[in-house]
Amino acid sequence: MKRKTKLIHGGISTDPATGAVSFPIYQVSTYKQEGVGGHKGYEYSRTGNPTRFALEELIKDLEGGKAGFAFGSGMAAMTAVMMLFNSGDHVILTDDVYGGSFRVMTKVLNRVGIDSTFVDTSNLEAIKSAIKPNTKAIHLETPTNPLLKITDIEEVSKLAKEHGLLTIVDNTFSTPYWQNPIELGADIVLHSATKYLGGHSDVVAGLAVVNSEKLAEDLHFVQNSTGGVLGPQDSWLLIRGIKTLGIRMEETESNTRDIVQFLQGHPSVRKVFYPGLESHPNHAIAKKQVRGFGGMVSFDVGSAENADKLLSKIHYFTLAESLGAVESLISVPARMTHASIPAERRAELGITEGLVRISVGLEDVEDLIDDLKQALE
């Protein structure tokens, strides 16, 4: 099955009970048993729900894993995966990881004894020197947010295997349409499905896919025990969103290419961060591991004041957190998505006050470029 076909026919695309081609929303918490234990595969919806299962099977197929899991948010998915580890364990993460991922590791999971170190994972030597006797996993975000750095998933997975570590990849920005971490050697894939997979700014959800029966069993145990599951309505919204992922990603890619070209030639823009640019330091790795560079672009306008001026004039780019939806969004990471990262750490990472991040949507690209042009003047 080719990729666009799999988006529509992957998983359990038709309801086996009724033949409904839009998988039904099983709005139910419990299931009748014909005698104790005599159920039809479902007992209670925290443990399993048919609509959620249809979504879990779909993401499993799209990522090429052994099992999929749906959670109430991307952060719930990440936290559940971290609950595979024990007090005293250590995890290495990408340094300019999403602010919420940094926060949960350093302000919540540290309190239960899960220690973390943040390194530039695009530098294999930096990862090697961060491995400790109690390290259990390497968590990558690639491309990163907001500087769009790329980590070589294949190389890191090899290194992880040599040291008996799990490789976890946050695939939110690329989606399975452009990048398949499990094929590159990763063990676990995470998604904030709130973004491209949902695609319409109308659902908050998280997904995880694992590559082995053992991890599937362990993660199902955590999912059922901690209970941060996705409801049937939101599961259905995601199944619907995923059907159009292919055409949305293709159109986003084309719009983004034109916008990047425009930004590069604009005198008010000091620097453009986009992995599709040949000048991007990790462009060669990106070309090797992704089929598309995505719709996220960051650019530096020099100061917070310039960023505010741009924001006050921009029309079609909505000032909002989040990304990956049909409407173009704009944000200032230092004061929004990455505000939970301490200022000195942001400075170290290069997340400046003048850094503006856009998520390119599906509007007509000429309108988007005209809008940026008038707002940058």
Q: List the catalytic residue out of 170, 187, 300, 371.
A: 170
CB of 76 to ligand PLP, least distance (A): 7
User: Do 14 and 20 touch, CB atoms closer than 8 A?
Assistant: yes
CB of 272 to ligand PLP, least distance (A): 20
Which is nearer to ligand PLP, 97 or 365 (by Cβ)? 97
Q: Which C-beta is closer to ligand PLP: that of 170 or that of 353?
A: 170
Q: What DSSP string describes 88-119?
A: T-EEEEETT--HHHHHIIIIIGGGGT-EEEEE
Query: What is the rounded distance in angstroms from the CA atom of residue 162 to the CA atom of residue 131?
Result: 11
Q: Concatenated DSSP letters for 209-250?
A: EESSHHHHHHHHHHHHHH--BPPHHHHHHHHHHHHTHHHHHH
Q: Which is nearer to ligand PLP, 75 or 137 (CB)?
A: 75
| Residue 98 annotated in active site | yes
Q: If 0-12 CB within 10 Å is exposed, 13-18 middle and 19+ buried, where does residue 311 land?
A: middle
In the complex, least distance from residue 193 CB atom to ligand PLP, rounded to whole angstroms: 7
Q: Which two tokens stand for residue 30?
A: 């419990």
Residue placing its CB nearer to ligand PLP in the complex, 179 or 194: 194
Is 196 assigned a catalytic role?
no
Token readout for 58 is 């779909």
Active site residue 6: no
User: DSSP letters along 338-365, please?
Assistant: TTTS-HHHHHHHT--TTEEEEE--SS-H
207-to-43, 57, 230 alpha-carbon distances in Å: 22, 11, 9
Closer to ligand PLP by Cβ: residue 101 or 175? 101
Residue 196 Cα distances to 62, 174, 323, angstroms: 14, 9, 7
**Angle, CA of 131, 134 and 135, to the nearest 5°:** 45
Contact by Cβ (8 Å): 222, 210? no
Residue 339 in tokens: 């505000």
**Which residues of this chain interact with ligand PLP, rule CB under 6 A?**
73-75, 98, 100-101, 141, 145, 170, 172, 192, 194, 204, 206
E strand or H helix that includes residue 207 = strand 206-210
CB of 170 or CB of 187, closer to ligand PLP: 170
- Residue 95 is among the residues annotated as catalytic for this protein: no
- Shortest reach from residue 336's CB to ligand PLP, in Å: 10
**What is the closest distance, in whole angstroms, from the C-beta atom of residue 141 to ligand PLP in the complex?**
6
Shortest distance in whole angstroms from residue 337 CB to ligand PLP: 6
For 17, which DSSP code?
A: T
Q: Among residues 26, 98, 196, 274, which one is catalytic?
A: 98
CB of 329 to ligand PLP, least distance (A): 11
| Min CB(192)–ligand PLP separation in Å | 3
Looking at the DSSP bridge assignments, the partners of residue 229 are: 71
Q: Let me know: does 337 contact 172? Beta carbons within 8 Å.
A: no
Q: State which residue, 194 or 328, has the beta carbon closest to ligand PLP.
A: 194
Of residues 153 and 375, the one with the C-beta less far from ligand PLP: 153
Which among 3, 4, 15, 46 is annotated as catalytic? 46
**Angstrom distance (rounded) from CA 291 to CA 225:** 37
Residues in the chain: 377
The set of catalytic residues is 46, 98, 170, 195
